[in-house]
Amino acid sequence: MYKKIETDESCMWGTNPHGKPVVTLMDEESNKIQIIIDDNCYVLLKRQQNGICKEIFRIPPGVLKVLKKLPLLK
């Protein structure tokens, strides 16, 4: 189960920082997912073992619950 933790700007997308971090979540196994805003869209990034974050397309239920509570972007 993912739980919200303090949000930081450490998540990297590829090799360059992208977007504005909104929420950071971590599970019991220290897997980290960060929700960022990029081009006026929410993007989910998961931290890989090498420290770089990649976009994810499968959304865990706990993360979806948090995502549903975020405001609509204009």
Reading phi first (left if > 0) and then psi (alpha if -120 to 50, else beta), residue 14 is in left
Q: pTM, whole model, 2 decimals? A: 0.82
| More confident: 35 or 16 | 35
Nearest to 43 by CA among 74, 2, 1, 13: 13
Both tokens of 41, joined, read 């869209």
Give residue-wise pLDDT tens across range 34-60: 998 888 889 899 988 887 888 999 999
Instruction: Identify the H or E element spanning 13.
Output: none
Domain regions of the chain by residue span: 3-63
Cα–Cα separations (whole angstroms), residue 73 to 14, 36, 38, 39, 42: 24, 12, 11, 10, 8
